[in-house]
A and B are shown apart, each in its own frame.
Chain A
Amino acid sequence: MQNSHRKEHLYKILVIGDLGVGKTSIIKRYVHHNFSPNYRATIGVDFALKVLNWDQETVRLQLWDIAGQERFGNMTRVYYREAMGAFIVFDVTRPASFEAITKWKEDLDAKLTLANGKNVATVLLANKCDQGRDVLTNNGIKMEQFCQENGFVGWFETSAKENINIDEAANCLVKHIIASEKDMLQSEVSDTISPQLEKNGGGTCSSCFRSHHVLHP
């Protein structure tokens, strides 16, 4: 992660959320471009690697698919270490999985901070949006507000099954990771020049807040 002169970035990304919300399916869709209704439950942690071309640079995403049962919490929290970003997933058909979101987020922020003390970029995924809409996510303004209040850099209604918004969500997360990395490098040591990413990617990204139904209050 530190070798900024080489045009390659490796980011560890966590995928967390309640049991059965579709974390593995989202990763399979994103990395292997397929979907099966028959994934086995994840025990512990599974891994996937996604390589992206990003502005003439290579971005490797190391995806950590972490088992959702709360009981595993104590042992899976060690996997948060050194992550640069996270997806927190809920299932739009199960309100309880949405109510758990704040807990996942608080837990993440409590156990993981970047070198500059900031929280890692986190995108909220409202998965299984193909299975009928839910009151929660139908209300774009509320979700927007929810994200801002809870420190999410963006949210997306996704469907691993129908391949909706998965790539978009990942791009949003990567953009914010790169921005926060740049931010960190700049604030780190002022006499080292980091010849990295002169592209527009600074600070906040309002477009990411805007998923497909944007309603600015």
Chain B
Amino acid sequence: MLPPRGGAASTRDPRRTPQEYETESSRGGPGSPPSPRQNVRKNLAFEPLSTTALILEDRPANLPAKPAEEAQKHRQQYEEMVAQAKKKELKEAQKRRKQQEQRCKLEESIGTAVQIWNQDILPNWTTLCTSRRVRDLWWQGVPPSVRGKVWSLAVGNELNITHGTVENPSLWSELYNICLARAKEKWKSLPTPTSNTEPEDVGSSDRESSLELIKLDISRTFPHLCIFQQGGPYHDVLHSVLGAYTCYRPDVGYVQGMSFIAAVLILNLETADAFIAFSNLLNKPCQMAFFRVDHSLMLTYFAAFEVFFEENLPKLFAHFKKNNLTPDIYLIDWIFTLYSKSLPLDLACRVWDVFCRDGEEFLFRTALGLLHLYREALQCMDFIQMAQLLTRLPDLVPGDRLFQHIAAVHMTGRAGKWPQVLQTLQRDQERSSPVLKR
């Protein structure tokens, strides 16, 4: 049992009983006659060390002494306090032990999982990644140390961006280097204050160039982590990955939300691998629709989402309708940042794990899981309260509970599964989400 630090008695010698101090500090000094508290002192000699923080002091010398009766009462109260403190300490020690055990268990299970992923699954990726066993393990969350590898494999490299070799994994991607060099050239040539204000067609090109927008956004990416901000260890890396991407895909450019996605990848992958995963991830149909701000296709996605919303949560769906709360209001942030801005980072990574496994469908399933999790609270809220809750989720979204709620969401409805529903809606563009009608 450890004595508490920084308590009232922390500077005192813990081997001495309170009364020893008391005697010294009392009026009589060390030579005064023995106090009537001898018996108390005897008992206290066996108290746990930490309770020395509780000290029964004599009244200051400039005040009249306590009556014997009162002194006795106080002694008794003091002893009770000491006993209680001792009991509390024991309880806390037990709790600590339990937590320690749980932590050990968790570490052990993570350790086992890491082993399974590294030795079994990753070497046999193509054959195992669709197996039931791996999919189940995947759902539990990928251990952080293998996360990057799993994401890379799952996202794939359809774009065939040149890659470092197995022998030399740190070798940077050639394409990445070329794009980065180009971005750096452009940065150099940027006049500090730009005033090119002629683009007439709103929407196709941004007033300020992508490279400038990146600068503005980097320090606003996970600011609480203090690693992407000016002077932080990953500031330049994030800058480089985003800059290289805008040179690789000038047709897409930089769009807000990208900085969050790139940051999460950088936290889990080597820079060049992060660039490859980033480019391939954004190349998926859903991400392309959103980052190119293809409005009608986005509306199709929202409409598909609403099909499953209505089937899974009819009452809440009606409530949202009544309050005119359309899915774009909360989905835009969630989809553009893949939940990395709105959920705690570790939980967001768990969502990414399964997103890598299940694809875009899981992003919308997660949204339904969140609505499911907060359905009771939402049901009693008005528009602004709901909008505020959903655009700024509580700091502590319970991860395990969220995943339970996500699991409870059915993604096979009357109109079929997600891809079918989406396809039908895409084909039938006239059928639209309420967003179009307004």
Say yes or no for A46: interface residue by CB 8 A criterion. Answer: yes
Asked if residues A19 and B217 are in contact (CB atoms below 8 Å), the reply is yes
Asked if residues B255 and A48 are in contact (CB atoms below 8 Å), the reply is no
A96-B220 in contact given A44-B328, A44-B329, A75-B293 (Cβ < 8 Å): no
A71-B206 in contact given A78-B438, A99-B197 (Cβ < 8 Å): yes
Query: Contacting chain B: which of A34-42, A115-123, A184-192, A203-211?
Result: A34-42
Query: Contacting chain A: which of B125-133, B136-144, B386-394?
Result: B386-394
Residue of B nearest to A38 (CB): B223
Q: Which residues of A contact B206 (CB under 8 A)?
A: 69-71
Say yes or no for A7: interface residue by CB 8 A criterion. Answer: no
- Would you give the shortest CB distance from B254 to chain A, in whole angstroms? 9
Q: Which residues of A contact B332 (CB under 8 A)?
A: 43-45, 75
Complex: A48 Cα to B298 Cα, angstroms: 25
- Would you give the shortest CB distance from B385 to chain A, in whole angstroms? 8
Could you say which of B216, B259, B391 contacts A47, with CB atoms under 8 Å apart? B391
A67-B256 in contact given A78-B438, A81-B438 (Cβ < 8 Å): yes
Asked if residues B328 and A75 are in contact (CB atoms below 8 Å), the reply is yes
Could you say which of A20, A62, A95 contacts B384, with CB atoms under 8 Å apart? A62
Q: Which residues of A contact B438 (CB under 8 A)?
A: 78, 81
Say yes or no for A18: interface residue by CB 8 A criterion. Answer: yes
Q: Which residues of B contact A70 (CB under 8 A)?
A: 202-203, 206-207
Say yes or no for B337: interface residue by CB 8 A criterion. Answer: yes
Complex: A195 Cα to B320 Cα, angstroms: 33
Q: Which residues of B contact A62 (CB under 8 A)?
A: 384
Say yes or no for B22: interface residue by CB 8 A criterion. Answer: no
Could you say which of B195, B391, B435 contacts A44, with CB atoms under 8 Å apart? B391
- Would you give the shortest CB distance from A170 to chain B, in whole angstroms? 17
A72-B197 in contact given A46-B391, A62-B384 (Cβ < 8 Å): no
Say yes or no for B221: interface residue by CB 8 A criterion. Answer: yes
Complex: A38 Cα to B226 Cα, angstroms: 9
Asked if residues B197 and A96 are in contact (CB atoms below 8 Å), the reply is yes
Which chain A residues numbered 78 to 105 have a C-beta less than 8 Å away from chain B? 78, 81, 94-96, 99-100, 103
Q: Which residues of B contact A38 (CB under 8 A)?
A: 219-220, 223-224, 229
A40-B388 in contact given A74-B293, A74-B295, A75-B298 (Cβ < 8 Å): no
- Would you give the shortest CB distance from B253 to chain A, in whole angstroms? 8
Could you say which of B202, B208, B337, B384 contacts A43, with CB atoms under 8 Å apart? B337
Q: Which residues of B contact A95 (CB under 8 A)?
A: 193, 195
Complex: A38 Cα to B219 Cα, angstroms: 8
Q: Which residues of B contact A107 (CB under 8 A)?
A: 202
Complex: A49 Cα to B207 Cα, angstroms: 31
Could you say which of B195, B256, B388 contacts A99, with CB atoms under 8 Å apart? B195
Complex: A19 Cα to B258 Cα, angstroms: 14
Q: Which residues of A contact B243 (CB under 8 A)?
A: none
Asked if residues B216 and A20 are in contact (CB atoms below 8 Å), the reply is yes
A75-B295 in contact given A20-B216, A44-B329, A100-B197 (Cβ < 8 Å): yes
Residue of A nearest to B386 (CB): A47
- Would you give the shortest CB distance from A26 to chain B, in whole angstroms? 15
Complex: A67 Cα to B290 Cα, angstroms: 15
Complex: A131 Cα to B432 Cα, angstroms: 47
Residue of A nearest to B226 (CB): A38
Which chain A residues numbered 51 to 86 have a C-beta less than 8 Å away from chain B? 62, 67, 69-75, 78, 81
Asked if residues A71 and B203 are in contact (CB atoms below 8 Å), the reply is yes
Contact with A along B374-392 (1 / 0, CB 8 A): 0000000000100110011
Asked if residues B336 and A44 are in contact (CB atoms below 8 Å), the reply is yes
Contact with A along B317-347 (1 / 0, CB 8 A): 0000000000011101100110001000000
Complex: A188 Cα to B332 Cα, angstroms: 37
Q: Which residues of A contact B216 (CB under 8 A)?
A: 19-20
Say yes or no for B257: interface residue by CB 8 A criterion. Answer: yes
- Would you give the shortest CB distance from B350 to chain A, in whole angstroms? 20
A44-B333 in contact given A20-B220, A69-B206, A74-B293 (Cβ < 8 Å): yes
Complex: A37 Cα to B203 Cα, angstroms: 29
A43-B341 in contact given A70-B203, A71-B203, A75-B332 (Cβ < 8 Å): yes
Asked if residues A69 and B193 are in contact (CB atoms below 8 Å), the reply is no
Q: Which residues of A contact B168 (CB under 8 A)?
A: none
- Would you give the shortest CB distance from A47 to chain B, in whole angstroms? 5
- Would you give the shortest CB distance from B74 to chain A, in whole angstroms? 46
Complex: A11 Cα to B178 Cα, angstroms: 52
Complex: A70 Cα to B201 Cα, angstroms: 11
Asked if residues A69 and B223 are in contact (CB atoms below 8 Å), the reply is no
Complex: A78 Cα to B7 Cα, angstroms: 59
Most chain A CB inside 10 Å of its own CB: which residue of B202, B206, B221, B256: B256
Complex: A50 Cα to B142 Cα, angstroms: 42
Say yes or no for B397: interface residue by CB 8 A criterion. Answer: no
A residues with a Cβ closer than 8 A to B are 18-20, 36-49, 62, 67, 69-75, 78, 81, 94-96, 99-100, 103, 107
Q: List 27 A-B contacts (CB under 8 A).
A: A18-B208, A19-B213, A19-B217, A38-B223, A38-B224, A39-B223, A40-B220, A40-B221, A43-B332, A43-B333, A44-B328, A44-B330, A44-B336, A46-B392, A49-B388, A70-B202, A70-B206, A71-B255, A71-B256, A72-B293, A73-B203, A74-B293, A74-B295, A75-B295, A78-B328, A78-B438, A99-B197
B residues with a Cβ closer than 8 A to A are 193-195, 197, 202-203, 206-208, 213, 216-217, 219-224, 229, 253, 255-257, 259, 293, 295, 298, 328-330, 332-333, 336-337, 341, 384, 387-388, 391-392, 435, 438
Known: A96-B197, A100-B207, A103-B207. 19 other contacts (CB 8 A): A18-B207, A20-B217, A20-B220, A39-B223, A40-B221, A40-B222, A41-B259, A43-B256, A43-B333, A44-B333, A46-B391, A47-B388, A47-B391, A49-B384, A70-B203, A70-B207, A71-B256, A78-B435, A96-B193
